[in-house]
Amino acid sequence: MLASKKFQRNIEDFVCEKCGTTVTGNGYTNHCPNCLWSKHVDNNPGDRLATCKGLMKPVSLEQKHGKYIIVHRCVKCGLIKRNKAAENDNFNALLELSTQHL
């Protein structure tokens, strides 16, 4: 499969490898709404071509155009990615993350 920079929507349910929460995906879900951790599975959004498969730790929270962006760092390879916060994200976890800095 060739890598594509275009977003590829994948509707997938998963169990968070960090906290064990069962997550129902909607095709845009890229992190656990409970603990905010993610997994390094994509080179480009939705392609599932990353070979790393490391857990992505939420390390900070940014704001862009009135929207919150979670900054994740892969604990295995160090890659940094930014993902939009979701409406169902744990508000207390977002608050705690807002005090963190890269």
pTM of the prediction?
Answer: 0.87
pLDDT more than 90, % of the chain: 73
User: What pLDDT is recorded for position 1?
Assistant: 46
Residues 41 and 77: beta-carbon distance below 8 Å: no
Mean pLDDT score, 26-50: 92
Closest CA to 45 of 28, 62, 59: 28
Per-residue model confidence as pLDDT tens digits over 60-102: 999 999 999 999 999 999 999 999 999 999 999 999 998 876 6
Any idea where the domains of the chain sit in the sequence?
14-97
Q: Which of the pair, 3 or 81, is modelled with greater confidence? A: 81
Q: Residue 79: CB partners within 8 Å, gap ≥ 6?
A: 40, 52, 56, 73
